[in-house]
Amino acid sequence: MAGVVVDASVAVKWFIAEERSEAARAVRGSGVDLLAPSSVIFEIYHALWEAARKGRIPGSFPRDAASLIPSPFTKLVPIEDLFDSATMLATELKHPVYDCVYLALAQEQGVEIVTADRELARAGRRANIRTRVI
């Protein structure tokens, strides 16, 4: 399957207007398959909850967005399928496992990862994974 792996730092920008949201929405509208580990859903909900808690978005939005959150993704891969390779990458790169699931998926699929997280991008480059920062 061709496409790109999108991490939560990009996906959150689809739902919250913030710096680089336009670039994130361009990725969503690019017509390529959007892949992510299933944990991305939890991370998006957490970010929306945090934004609502801080008054940046309406308090009901995390609940209201429930049906919207997974819809842009072409495929969500169960994180259990990525644990072994993510743990190996985390050990090699000295980078958190929760980020390395994105790298493991990109590596497994042979596709680029798109992120707004510069630390994740650096880790991806150290692992020779095609990485784009928005």
C-alpha span between 48 and 53 (Å, rounded):
8
Fold of 4-133: Rossmann fold (3.40.50)
- Please report which confidence band the pLDDT of residue 91 belongs to, taking 50, 70 and 90 as the band edges: very high
pLDDT above 60: residue 108: yes
Boundaries of every domain in the chain = 4-133
pTM as predicted: 0.91
CB 86 within 8 A of CB 47: no
- Please report which confidence band the pLDDT of residue 59 belongs to, taking 50, 70 and 90 as the band edges: confident
In single-letter form, the type of residue at position 16 comes to I
pLDDT above 90: residue 30: yes
pLDDT averaged over the chain? 93
Pairing of strands 34-37, 131-133: unpaired
Other C-beta atoms closer than 10 Å to the C-beta of 10 total 28
Return the C-alpha torsion angle 79, 93, 24, 18, nearest 10: 100
